[in-house]
């Protein structure tokens, strides 16, 4: 583990102490957990974005046909 020092305004420090007490943990552990969760979310987002961008581009209208409807474009199941 690496020790770091952070500076918080009084309101944020008070909230951190109360939240840590509510969860029965130290402020240090609370902040570590919050940062680790943020790292996991960012890593998941980055992976999903890379996966999406690695797919070949798709034409919206095939051979001059009609463009898809808004609902068809925003269909999440179609992106999987």
Q: What is the pLDDT of residues 15-27, one digit of tens each?
A: 999 999 999 999 9
Given a contact cutoff of 8 angstroms between Cβ atoms, the answer to whether 16 and 30 are in contact is yes
Q: Is residue 27 part of a domain?
A: yes
Distance, CA of 1 to CA of 28 (rounded, Å):
12
Q: Is the confidence at residue 78, as pLDDT, over 60?
A: no
Neighbours of 25 (CB within 10 A): 14
Task: Say how many domains are in the chain.
Answer: 1
User: For the chain, how big is the Rg over CA atoms in Å?
Assistant: 22
Query: Does the reported pTM lie above 0.85?
Result: no
* The pLDDT value given to residue 58: 77
Task: Tell me what the pLDDT averaged over the chain comes to.
Answer: 88
Q: Is residue 77 part of a domain?
A: no
Q: Is residue 68 part of a domain?
A: no
Q: Is residue 74 part of a domain?
A: no
Given a contact cutoff of 8 angstroms between Cβ atoms, the answer to whether 43 and 37 are in contact is no
Supply 27's token pair. 């402020």
Question: Which residue segment(s) compose the domain that 21 sits in?
Answer: 10-55
Q: Is residue 50 part of a domain?
A: yes
Identify the burial level of 30 via C-beta atoms within 10 angstroms of its C-beta, where 0-12 means exposed, 13-18 middle and 19 or more buried: middle
């Amino acid at each position: 583990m690496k020790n770091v020092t952070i500076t918080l305004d009084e309101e944020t420090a008070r909230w951190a102490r109360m939240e840590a007490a509510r969860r029965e943990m130290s402020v240090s552990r609370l902040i570590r957990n919050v940062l680790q969760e943020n790292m996991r979310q960012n890593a998941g987002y980055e992976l999903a974005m890379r996966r999406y961008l690695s797919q070949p581009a798709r034409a919206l209208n095939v051979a001059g046909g009609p463009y898809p409807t808004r609902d068809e474009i925003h269909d999440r199941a179609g992106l999987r």
